[in-house]
A and B are shown apart, each in its own frame.
Chain A
Amino acid sequence: MASKQPDVKDFVDRKYEHGFFTDIEADTLAPGLNEDVIRLISKIKGEPAFMLDWRLKAFSHWQTMQEPDWAKLERDAIDYQAISYYSAPRSSADAPKSLDEVDPKLLETYDKLGIPLHERARLAGVAVDAVFDSVSVATTFKEKLAEAGVLFCSFSEAVKDHPELIERYLGTVVPHRDNFFAALNSAVFTDGSFVYIPKGVRCPMELSTYFRINAANTGQFERTLIIADEGSYVSYLEGCTAPQRDENQLHAAVVELIAEKDAEIKYSTVQNWYPGDEEGRGGIYNFVTKRGDCRGDRSKISWTQVEAGSAITWKYPSCVLRGNDSVGEFYSVAVTNNLQQADTGTKMIHIGKNTRSTIISKGISAGRAQNAYRGLVKIFPTAENARNYSQCDSLLMGNQCGAHTFPYMEIKNPTAQVAHEATTSKIADDQLFYCRQRGLREEDAVNMIVNGFCKEVFRKLPMEFAVEAQALMNVSLEGAVG
């Protein structure tokens, strides 16, 4: 490869842009996990009895479970007793009703992140339910949504205001005993987002939540529940950044989507949590369970994700295609650099007739990173005429990284058509040569080629997110080629 240019070197040495720590007083529970901690969390949140029961059931089941080790990940063991399971900003008791009431330091944090909450919300018409640590502190555009009948609030508010919906839907997609991290989340989750779109309503704006991890040593356990009732539509955006930290932080979120008859949910994620430094020190452990249930006929769930951050990413946004003619989609770009590890993919479970699914996964591995796609397409005997198309492409940058593909296909119906394709290669020398010959710097040429490689997925993102994702891609891969 051509000699390194000085700017490439600068890029390599550049530190994580969003790494800083806002000094806010936080009510933090002492580290440790037992039934009392769970009772306390439930009490602090003022939850009804069914929630506590549910948490305790999850906890007792979690204690019987073993941490999974099948993923292609290497990491230190997690000491679950060393984590503090609750941390809330000081002013949580009298939560702010509007932006003016929000702690100015908090707003400063968002500014540093380049998310001018109020401005952005107004200009882009996006309602933001910003989760700062574990409790929601700012919610906007509620009125407009309320007019449409859309419920969009923090999980704790939903538990207080709409317990009947929570009781009816919580844990119906990801049961409390689903897997090790989902069970842990069910026991200790502190907050998250709740969305309910009533029958026949097309949500008037794109809903968005920014997650932030702040206080040190606090595992973050979010829970998101989105319900799209018959014939409704919602597009939901989730984006993350986190301050720089030395210890590994565990993040075990659960996202449940429910699409009733003729409903459609579009869920987009840009994940840019602190990935650790060049030597792999620090960084977030991102172990997430995301699952969508296409319950009704002709329903549709679409997952789009750009995974650029975290030391370890372990997530498989899935679709259970229960309703006839329902559709599941998964579009993913996963970028790993330095010592990052990603084991991500999807599951498409075809149960209903004429169900269709599409999987497009793009993995980019640079430095000494390991990037794996792991997916399952399962066709039940009942899924007449099911269709699946999967495409998994990997791009390798540097000779110390790895790219892996583990697609499982289990087909029990002869009328199904399932096709899978995968390729792994590096950026072709002739492509680079072509660009450089036309005066592009190597870095720019690589960015251009990488963006082209990911285009199919970026196209699926809402516009503002797509722009952000492209920039993120360039930052994440800086210095990867040279």
Chain B
Amino acid sequence: MNTATPDTATIEVIRKTWQERPPAANPYLHGRMTRALEAFAGKGFPTTRLENWKYTDVRKLAASYPEWLRTAPDETATPDLEPLVGPDSVRISFVDGIYRPDLSTAGDLPPGIFAGSVSELLSVEPALEDKLGKLAQDSDSAFVALNTAFAGDALAIVLPDNVELQKPIYVRFHSSTSQLGTQPRVMVELGARSRATLIEHYTSGHEAIVNSVTEIRCLENAALNYYKVQDEHTDSWHTAAQYVELARNAKLTSMHLDTGAGLARNELHVRLAGPAANADCKGLFMGSNNQHIESRINIEHAAPETQSRERFRGILADKARGVFNGRIYVEPQAQKTAAELTNRNLLLSKGAEIDTKPELEIYADDVKCAHGSSTGQLDENSLFYLMSRGIEHDEARSILVEAFAGELLGDTGIEAIARKAQQSLRALRKVEQ
């Protein structure tokens, strides 16, 4: 009953577009892409009849997809890409889905660290084949399958054991061509006891379709700080999924900032696969006008003594609609798990909407799991307090909204990202007035 009826006409056009593209040189990759295309064709675009897509309707996106996939990228575009983080970072830039060495500084990476294409990596390390696509399964989601089929080559970043990378790696995906569909794909592996910071930043100059998939594997005792900033053009469609697997004692600290796109949907999947693995995930999404922003997290505790904490907040103005879904899944063997999920939302105007669903699914008994969710408007007492001290109504509201976000942004490791969030908040407040 709960299966989407694939729109055969759309699928056929997408299949034709795929066939017209030059096949991947690497036979393994080509086979993978072929299988992914079939996986997508079997599923079709999801409909709101599917539980996981209940609140997000992608019919309009699906209608534009075939054509936008055919749009030719501009290989010579020279957009002014002001990096989000300072010069003290390793930059890797993609414009219209094409790697741009002229806008990148991957050469600055210390020796031993690989940052390049997957096909390049496959030629030196064929064992990689067993790892690719293992975390993000094409059978799980039509969008992952679509990404695998069209992404072809992916960005691979591999840190060997015992490397502590001081500089953050800043990966920028920019769409400069109007009505272009891109499928960014990133694969990251951190060796045992390695540490790194990775920032993914998505922007577009015009309306675009962006469908990204990131796979991250952290081996024993590795630690990754992960940031994803989505600041697409307000007419863009952005769908993204990150799949993270943490081995024994590995740690993920993540922050998601979603401010752009007309329709955005982000899924963060974290699997705590090794004992004592730890995940601390934060997210802030904000929308105005008719934006539709969905943020999903799926945390799987698969080993004993794993810990996770998820804090997500949404701020919605005008007619914007926010969707939050948080799921904590505890497998039977994951005893002594501690998990805590909170979602707080602020509705700033009439017409704004939030649909939230924090889920717990627990099969182990010796656990401490909690989730909480609250939604409301700004607290009248706080507003009164500020106004009674001579602060104008609008200013007082601004302070409170910033404070609401500030509780999350307080310990953002990279200040530039916190600043970016504050900036978006101010823009949101302007729209609201």
Contacts and interface: CB of A to CB of B under 8 A. Distances in A.
Contact of B357 (A70, A406, A414, A426): A406
Contacts of B368: 423-425
A413 B377 CA distance: 9
A409 B146 CA distance: 31
Interface string A396-414: 1111111111111111111
Given A409-B354, A410-B355, A426 B366 contact: yes
Nearest to B51: A70
Contacts of B332: 399-400
Contacts of A401: 363, 365
A417 B376 CA distance: 4
Grouping DSSP codes into helix (H, G, I), strand (E, B) and loop, the B interface class, with mixed when no group exceeds half, is strand
8 contacts: A381-B351, A394-B362, A397-B365, A405-B360, A410-B353, A417-B375, A421-B371, A422-B372
B356 interface: yes
Interface of A: 66, 69-70, 381, 394, 396-426
B136 to A, nearest CB: 25
Given A394-B362, A399-B365, A409-B356, A381 B350 contact: yes
Interface string B371-390: 11111110000000000000
Given A70-B2, A419-B374, A411 B354 contact: yes
Given A414-B347, A416-B347, A424-B368, 5 more contacts: A381-B351, A402-B361, A410-B355, A414-B348, A417-B374
A415 B357 CA distance: 20
Interface in B340-354: 345, 347-354
Contacts of A399: 332, 335, 364-366
Interface in B313-364: 332, 335, 345, 347-364
A402 B51 contact: no
Q: Which 4 A-B pairs have the closest CB atoms?
A: A414-B347, A396-B365, A417-B376, A419-B374
Given A399-B335, A413-B350, A414-B377, A424 B362 contact: yes
A69 B357 contact: no
Nearest to B321: A412
B371 A422 contact: yes
A394 B368 CA distance: 10
Given A66-B1, A394-B362, A405 B371 contact: yes
Contacts of A424: 360, 362, 367-370
Nearest to A414: B347
Given A399-B332, A409-B373, A425 B367 contact: yes
A423 B369 contact: yes
Contacts, number: 117
Nearest to A424: B369
B372 to A, nearest CB: 5
B55 to A, nearest CB: 8
Grouping DSSP codes into helix (H, G, I), strand (E, B) and loop, the A interface class, with mixed when no group exceeds half, is strand
A182 B181 CA distance: 46
Contacts of B370: 421-424
A410 B373 CA distance: 12
Nearest to A399: B365
B221 to A, nearest CB: 28
B376 A416 contact: yes
A425 B371 CA distance: 12
Contacts of A410: 353-355
A424 to B, nearest CB: 4
A407 B341 CA distance: 13
Interface in B109-146: none
B375 A403 contact: no
B377 A415 contact: yes
B369 A425 contact: yes
Nearest to A423: B370
B216 to A, nearest CB: 27
Contacts of B371: 405, 420-422
Contacts of A408: 355-357
Given A414-B349, A424-B367, A69 B359 contact: no
B288 to A, nearest CB: 13
A349 to B, nearest CB: 14
A424 B345 CA distance: 23
Given A399-B365, A426-B365, A416 B360 contact: no
Contacts of B374: 417-420
Contacts of A416: 347, 375-376
Given A418-B375, A419-B374, A411 B353 contact: yes
A364 to B, nearest CB: 12
Contacts of A405: 358-361, 371
A407 B324 CA distance: 12
A410 B354 CA distance: 6
B367 to A, nearest CB: 6
Contact of A411 (B347, B359, B363): B347
A417 B359 CA distance: 20
A268 to B, nearest CB: 27
Contacts of A381: 350-351
Nearest to B338: A425
B143 to A, nearest CB: 22
B367 A409 contact: no
B372 A420 contact: yes
A423 B339 CA distance: 10
